[in-house]
Amino acid sequence: MPKGFGNKILLMFWEKMMSFNFGRNVLLNSVGFDRLLDAFEQMNVGDGTNKAQGYPPYNIVKINERDYAIEIAVAGFRRDEIDITSEGNKLTVTGKFKSEPMGEYLHKGIANRDFRHEFTLAETVIVASADIENGLLLIKLQNVIPAEKLPRKIQIGGASGLIVEEEAREKIAA
C-alpha cells in the first residue's frame, strides 16, 4: 500500500461525512472541533512517523458507556520491562526487552523485541489501572465526565440556571 494511502482514504471519508446532511457542511454548525481538524491535518502530512503500530498486537475494548480497556499481547515481557506513561491526553506504553535467553534456540517463533504504542485519549478519559494477566497487559480506562459537562436543561431568565446545575450535581452524587 502506498505511503499515506490510508490517511487519504480517511480524509475522503471525513469530507463525505462533513457534507452528509443534504449537502450542507456540518462544520458550519459545529463549534470547538479545531483540534479534531488539526489531527486530521497532521495525519495527512505523511512524514513516516504515523506508521501503523503492529507489534505487539492490541485490542481496544468498550466495556460499557464509561469503561474501556486496552489489551496488549506482551508474552515474554516481565513487569519491570514495561513502562506505561500518561501525560495530558497521550498514553504511551513502552516495552524494553532485557531478558537473557535460557539457552540456544533451535526455533524462535516468539518475537521479543522492543515496542512503543501511543494512544490519544479524550480529555475526560483517565487510566484507572494496569495489570498483566495470561500474557496480556490490561490497561483499564474510565471516561469521567465532569458535572459541568453533563447534559442539563437551561431555564430562560433569571438565576434559574443555577438551580438546574445544582440538581444535576445532586443526581451525580446519588
pLDDT digits (tens, 9 = 90+) for 59-115: 999 999 889 999 999 988 999 999 999 998 899 999 998 877 778 888 888 777 899
More confident residue, 147 or 93: 93
What percent helix, strand, coil does the chain show, rounded to 5? 30, 25, 45
More confident residue, 49 or 98: 98
Q: pTM of the prediction?
A: 0.60
pLDDT at 108: 83
Q: Tell me the pLDDT of the chain averaged across its residues.
A: 76
More confident residue, 24 or 97: 97
Q: What is the largest CA-CA distance in the chain?
A: 79
Query: Is residue 156 helix, strand or coil?
Result: coil
pLDDT at 50: 45
Query: Residue 163 is placed in which grid cell?
Result: 438551580
Number of CB atoms found within 10 A of residue 101's CB: 8
Query: Is residue 168 helix, strand or coil?
Result: helix
